Amino acid sequence: MSNNTLSSYRDTFVQYIDFMKNEKNIPIDRLSLKHLTRDNALHFMKWILDDRGCSPATRNYRLAAIHSFVSYLQYEVIDNAEEWQKVLSIKAMRSESKALTYLSTEGIRLLLAQPDTMTSQGRRHLAILSLMYDTGARVQEIADLTVESVRIDYEPYSIRLFGKGRKSRIVPMVKEQTEILRQYMAENHLNDSNVYASPLFFNNRHEKLTREGISYILKTYADLARKESPELIPQKISCHSLRHSKAMHLLQSGINLVYIRDILGHVSIQTTDIYARADSKAKREALEKAYTNLNPSTTSTREWERNKNLREWLKGLN
């Protein structure tokens, strides 16, 4: 599993331990597997929603972690198999599907015009934002990039990203995409073989940037761009919005969903299909193209009835 998944599972059981202590009066030194029951798990789910004020999506993440642990226990603690089955029978809640937040091409152009390229920091920020959009990468994938992930010395240009579950994929890059990245790497002496394992993007301490750090960079320039053209930059924007934007722009350019799936690193085409469902422009154009007018004509052939001046109407006949 990825580090993010491990963190999610860790948080789940830290919260479960706190829940059992505060709500069930069972401290950690007395907590055992017999306390992991369907009733306690259901109460824990309710506590996450009501007391912690979390969303159904977060509740489902916590349930997935418990399900994963209980699936493991089925083979390790067979004597309690009946209770494990009861826990596994707890269903996920249906959560509302959020509308995709993405920027138009004009919005992306405006956003990328904000960094001050007269400064080294501005050039670094432009390299981060443009690469995140160009590759459709997740924010963690950008943070995890190392110098050896980049192949821009010769064509075909590409970059290797490590996605969920540490699954890697190679994303092709066109020449125009690589110029900003190439200049950034040259300026920061990242073309030497002895730095191949170093982070591609780093802070003042030469440590790799965090997800929060990259998100802060995006928010800073999004706020600047929004002041210039509020209609082009959504009020709520995240690093994932750039990923959505790239996918939508590829789709609107006529790129097959299968190729978009591979670029984004989706396991299933059904995941990528959300962009086709969300593209209202494509839907409208498809409807207009397929439209056949079957409605009866509402235009009367008795045109003189609409002209009260019969004499003028007669004079207009040729």
Active site (catalytic) residues: 138, 164, 240, 243, 266, 275
| Under 8 Å between Cβ of 23 and 47 | yes
Cα 199 to Cα 251: distance, rounded to the nearest angstrom: 31
Cα 168 to Cα 154: distance, rounded to the nearest angstrom: 21
The DSSP line for 91-106 is: PPPP-PPPPP----HH
Closest by Cα among 206, 207, 209, 205 to 217: 209
Say which residues have a Cβ less than 8 Å from residue 175's Cβ, sequence separation at least 6.
Answer: 155, 157
| Under 8 Å between Cβ of 19 and 47 | yes
Cα 157 to Cα 177: distance, rounded to the nearest angstrom: 9
Rg of the chain over Cα atoms, rounded to whole angstroms, equals 28
